[in-house]
Amino acid sequence: MRREGERNFRLILEYDGSNYHGWQRQKGLITVQEVVESCLGIMLDRPVKVRASGRTDAGVHAFGQVVNFYAATNLSPEDFQNGLNSLLPEDVVVVGAEEVDLSFHARFSAKRKVYCYRILNRRLRFPLLRNYAWHIPAKLDIEAMRDALKHFLGEHDFSAFMASKSSVKSRVRTVFKAELDEFGSGNLVMTFEANGFLRHMVRIMVGTVVEVGLGKRVPGDIPAILKSLDRLQAGRTAPAHGLYLMKVIYDESKDAGENDALRVITSFLPEFTGRSAR
């Protein structure tokens, strides 16, 4: 129950998930939610509950995680952004803050989400990317992977692409975008946009498409896997550290339509694309 005079604040967070056990609070473990709530508690001198657009897993990164919280305060959104950034560890930053309608909920108000997955496809590993891309030394068939991705578009039951033992009311999701971009030699980024994602859904789709790229499957296998509703029919779950929550869309008419894949490549280690070690 909200207290009288409370206001609703929305924050946009970027974080490096390498040192965290995911977003959600877990007893005895360091999580992103814990550090954000702890810093807000310092600013407001009381416990604060933060609601996120989704729960990123351990090792998953974010460019655009959205959260909201209620507070009876005279502090402005700018005060929260500046104050939190002075308190948060260096691997978490508030890149946006605003006051929103009391009805806004970071998760339930969302219309779409965008994830990107980064792959380093070259013979030698690159140590500086060890926590930020899945290194695959064997050459991938890019065009076959692109053909496979097309089969995810539209509305499907994604039971085969959901972590086992997950419990949700509906496993039907609509995928609006499933693309693969290549930047330079071996820098690959898959981009997925949907009205929602099941647990591990993106990582299982990536793992399955990589098997297509390795010649272990063909693109035409994807429809049969979807129809099977059987997790065992899909491929492996791709490692968490290549995954990025790019943005959460609340008003589709205001979506900037930026190139999220390019942002993954250029936001850090921008000079890498010119270095080859095949």
Q: Which of 16, 57, 181, 221 is catalytic?
A: 57
- Domains defined for the chain, CATH in brackets: 7-100 (3.30.70.580), 112-274 (3.30.70.660)
Provide block-wise average pLDDT over 10 residues at a time, the chain (278 residues). 83 97 94 98 97 96 97 97 98 97 97 97 92 97 98 98 88 97 91 97 99 98 98 98 96 69 70 44
- Rounded to the nearest 10 degrees, what angle do helices 221-228 and 201-213 cross at? 150
Distance in angstroms (rounded) separating the CA atoms of residues 133 and 114: 17
**Lookup result for tokens 């939610």:** 33
70 is in an annotated binding site: no
DSSP state at residue 209:
H
List, for residues 60-98, the tens digit of each pLDDT value. 999 999 999 999 999 999 999 999 999 999 999 999 999
Q: Which residues pair with 71 in a beta bridge?
A: 7
Known catalytic membership, residue 101: no
Distance in angstroms (rounded) separating the CA atoms of residues 238 and 208: 8
**Helix residue spans in the chain (DSSP H):** 32-44, 77-87, 142-150, 201-213, 221-228, 260-266
- DSSP letter string, 139-192: PP-HHHHHHHHHTT-EEEE-GGGS-TT---S--EEEEEEEEEEEETTTEEEEEE
Distance in angstroms (rounded) separating the CA atoms of residues 64 and 137: 30
Q: How many helices (H) and strands (E) does the chain have?
A: 6, 10
List, for residues 23-61, the tens digit of each pLDDT value. 999 999 999 999 999 999 999 999 999 999 999 999 999
Instruction: Give the per-residue pLDDT at 259.
Output: 79
Q: What is the dihedral of CA 46, 47, 53, 58, to 10 degrees?
A: 130
β-pairing, 134-135 vs 112-120, is: parallel
Task: Select from 194, 112, 120 the least CA-distant residue to 156.
Answer: 194
Distance in angstroms (rounded) separating the CA atoms of residues 111 and 45: 33
Task: Select from 193, 240, 204, 208 the least CA-distant residue to 55.
Answer: 240
Answering whether pTM is above 0.85, one says yes
Q: What is the dihedral of CA 96, 99, 101, 102, to 10 degrees?
A: 110
Report yes or no: 53 and 248 within 8 Å, Cβ to Cβ: yes
Instruction: Give the per-residue pLDDT at 253.
Output: 61
